[in-house]
Structure 1
Amino acid sequence: MRFSDFTSYDLILLAQGLGTNIALFLVTSLIGLLIGLSWALVRFYRVPVLAQVVTFLSELLKNSPVLVQLFLVFFGLPALLHIRVTPVTAATITLSANTAAFVYVIAVSAIESIEREQVEAARVFGLTRWHVLRHIVSPQAAAFAVGPLVALLVNQLQVTSLISVIGVVDLTKIGHILNMRTLKPFVVWTVVGLLYYGAAKLVALLGERLENRLRAHSAWRGL
């Protein structure tokens, strides 16, 4: 076998690398979604001080490079707090926080897109702030936000390619290893790019189906 030959085992390596990206994407997306929605609730209920804090954090996270955030968590926190942070832990913290910042912005925009007359009318009829949020705001906001959220998730899946720089053996890292071994960068990075594209396309298609269902449900209820 020549030094530049591909082997069948390379396909397994690529699949394992893609699995790492997808697993990290799913975990950080879920964590980010929960945190971002929690921040949006703080904004909706106008919690004193805390509302200003989450807005500041969101602005800080969404307006700074993800790679810098990744380096700060992986290299900065251990030096500052004298703790050990593994590459996977650093990637999870960084991507979860970054996702939460954008989810917060999308959720707030979705909530604010709803006409104030609906909320005020519900309050006149005696509905509590929780019931207004649950029965009036949430269904309409979900239908409005799902499109931007899907676009965000597709982007965040692609952002996971950055985690290789701190040592996580993901698809990009596997691509780099294969490139160094085979000396065929065009073939290797074309395959890696197609795998990322396929995963992102799947997320987009699933999101499109969810968006259509939510919009149909909202229309049926006359919202």
Structure 2
Amino acid sequence: MRFADFTPFDLVLLAQGLGVSLALFLTTTVAGLLLGLGFAVVHHFRFPFVNPLIVAVTEALKNSPVLVQLFLVFFGIPALMQIRMTPASAAFITLSLNTAAFAFVIIRAGIESIDRDQIDAAEAFGLRRIQILRRVIGPQALAFSIGPIVGILVNQLQVTSLISVIGVFDLTKIGNILNLRTLEPFIVWAVIGSIYYVCAKILAHSGARLERRIRRSYAWGEV
């Protein structure tokens, strides 16, 4: 016994840490995708002065380190606005906005990939812009976007490991605690890495199946 042996309770700690990581990933994924979709829809309708703001914000989020964003939300904003920010709230805000930035770019590309002739034909049949977006553009943009979005989400799952630095007791934080207690870094981090790997593979596999189903549903090959 070098410092402390592994115990069966460590499995409970790992399960709790994994639960926190997955819960945060799922909630920020839903919030980020909805926000990114909202950004893309607003951008599609070309509201004056709003589009440049959306592009500027998303570019800043995409091209700056997530860790810096996390520190800015957790330390900078509370100091500037004299408010309290919990680690979980800071993690949720940061990851949601980061996911939204990438989702916006992907969904916007999907919308803009639709042939203009289809839109003109829909307008000729008297469909309004919102109907065209929902019935013509939306289904095809979804089929175009689902693959890249799944790829981004796999990366975002791995990014959740950064939240441990502000005190969130996620899987990585639990791994650090076990490492300090057992002094077995190879075993601890191999296990933590394997858990992230399995979760990422499950997500990627599920996303690939969903993409195939969506493409078949909308007869992507005939578009």
* Structure 2 match to 1:174: 174
* Structure 2 match to 1:45: 45
**TM-score of the superposition, structure 1-length normalised?**
0.97
Give the distance between the partners of 2:65 and 2:51, measured in 1 at CA. Answer: 24
Q: How many residue pairs align between the two structures?
A: 223
CA contact (8 A) 2:140 2:220 kept: no
CA contact (8 A) 1:143 1:215 kept: yes
CA contact (8 A) 1:4 1:184 kept: no
CA RMSD of aligned residues (A): 1.3
Within 5 Å, which residues of 2 pair with 1:1-223? 3-219=3-219, 222-223=222-223
Give the distance between the partners of 1:14 and 1:176, measured in 2 at CA. Answer: 11
CA contact (8 A) 1:103 1:149 kept: yes
Query: For 1:22-43, what per-residue CA distance to the aligned partner results, in whole angstroms no more than 9, with x for missing partners?
Result: 0000000000011100000011
CA contact (8 A) 2:163 2:170 kept: yes
- What amino acid sits opposite 1:137 in the alignment? I
**TM-score of the superposition, structure 2-length normalised?**
0.97
Query: For 1:56-115, what per-residue CA distance to the aligned partner results, in whole angstroms no more than 9, with x for missing partners?
Result: 111111011000000000000111000000000000000000000000000000011111
Runs of 4+ in 1 over 4 A off after TM superposition: none
CA contact (8 A) 2:178 2:188 kept: yes
- What amino acid sits opposite 1:139 in the alignment? P
- What amino acid sits opposite 1:194 in the alignment? S
- Stretches of structure 2 that go unaligned for 5 or more consecutive residues are none
Give the distance between the partners of 1:191 and 1:132, measured in 2 at CA. Answer: 49
CA contact (8 A) 1:28 1:96 kept: yes
Taking only the aligned residue pairs, the percentage that are identical comes to 61
